[in-house]
Amino acid sequence: MNGDQQETPLTQVFVGLGSNLGDAVLTVKKAIQVLESWARPEPLTASSLWETRPVGPVAQAHFVNAAVGFKTTLPPEELMTRLLALEKEFGRVRLVRWGPRTLDLDLLFYGEIRMRAPFLTLPHPRIQDRGFVLAPLRQIAPDFVHPVLGQTLESLWQSWRAAVPDADEQVRLLPDPRGRR
């Protein structure tokens, strides 16, 4: 390494995944495998798969959601660009906001960084209002503290569940075909 260059530090990131077109379970599992190849030097941590109701005004099928955490040296904008490219590889076409999709990848947290850019806001807005994000995310990082709200993901999950009367119907853990949870 050149003496003038500094090594980019590893940063813990969390990504949300979702799909409700085609074989959504297979799509999310394949996307997790791709993200696993990006995780260095430590392995990726992945949540279970969750079935969730769609959000927004468009009538559509339920989603399969998950979350992953891994460390990266990629800057936030480059990581988001790669996530968007991966969505396209899986056939994502953006026609309707909050519409059905083959694959949706959201960069939820990039360490404790706070930023607003044309195609990226960190932390991802409305995490605290979305059970489909909180359920898998708090499964892999319950003690992670939201850098803006100052609460753990477990606390945000419990607050969301207390505020949503049918929370257990909106977000349900999918059974693992191998019998694991």
- pLDDT at residue 95 in the model: 67
pLDDT tens track for 158-171: 999 999 999 999 99
**84 CB-side CA count, 13 A:** 9
Catalytic residue, from 104, 116, 129, 181: name it. 104
Whether residue 92 lies in the annotated active site: yes
Strand partners, 14: 69, 109
Residue 1: pLDDT band by 50, 70, 90 thresholds?
very low
Q: What is the pTM of this model?
A: 0.91
Catalytic residue, from 53, 82, 106, 161: name it. 106
Average pLDDT of the segment spanning 136-151: 97
pLDDT tens track for 27-75: 999 999 999 999 878 899 999 999 999 887 777 899 999 999 999 999 9
Q: Is residue 112's pLDDT more than 70?
A: yes
CATH architecture group of domain 11-173: 2-Layer Sandwich (3.30)
Amino acid identity for residue 92 in this structure: R
- Quick one: three-class SS letters along 135-178? HHHHHHCCCCECCCCCCEHHHHHHHHHHHCCCHHHHEEECCCCC
Rg (CA), the chain: 16
Catalytic residue, from 101, 114, 138, 161: name it. 101
DSSP H or E run through 55? none
- pLDDT at residue 41 in the model: 81
Contact assessment for residue 52 and residue 65, using Cβ atoms and an 8 Å cutoff: yes
Whether residue 129 lies in the annotated active site: no
- pLDDT at residue 118 in the model: 84
pLDDT-wise least confident of 2-6, 31-35, 119-123, 135-139: 2-6
Q: Where exactly are the structural domains of the chain?
A: 11-173
Whether residue 106 lies in the annotated active site: yes
Taking the C-alpha atoms of residue 37 and residue 30, their distance in angstroms, rounded to an integer, is: 11
Q: Is residue 111's pLDDT more than 60?
A: yes
Taking the C-alpha atoms of residue 154 and residue 7, their distance in angstroms, rounded to an integer, is: 33
Taking the C-alpha atoms of residue 62 and residue 122, their distance in angstroms, rounded to an integer, is: 26
Residue 179: pLDDT band by 50, 70, 90 thresholds?
very low
Whether residue 101 lies in the annotated active site: yes
How many Cβ atoms sit within 10 Å of the Cβ of residue 144? 20
Average pLDDT of the segment spanning 75-97: 86
Catalytic residue, from 4, 23, 40, 92: name it. 92
